[in-house]
Amino acid sequence: MATRKKTPPAPAACEVCQGSGVVAVAVRVGRKRRTVGKQDGMCLTCFGSGEATPTTPERG
């Protein structure tokens, strides 16, 4: 039996930002909140780490 190096399990990538830690957020202006474009924003699901958080508090 060959001894293989143990490879640590890769952290699950965040589903929201696909592991990039950045998501595109819509930029709204005015009272009508008209969307004028998108800009990069920190992913609030993984807090910019790009890794899916194992412990997700469930509401309810």
Footprint of Zn ion (CB under 5 A): 14, 16-17, 43, 45-46
Closer to Zn ion by CB, 16 or 25: give it.
16
Spatial contact of 11 and 52, defined as CB atoms under 8 Å apart = yes
Residue placing its CB nearer to Zn ion in the complex, 14 or 39: 14
User: Cβ of residue 1: shortest distance to Zn ion, in angstroms?
Assistant: 39
Q: How far is the CB of 7 from Zn ion (least distance, A)?
A: 23
3-class DSSP string for 6-59: CCCCCCCECCCCCCCCEEEEEEEECCCCEEEEEEEEECCCCCCCCECCCCCCCC
Closest contact distance (angstroms) between CB of 36 and Zn ion is 24
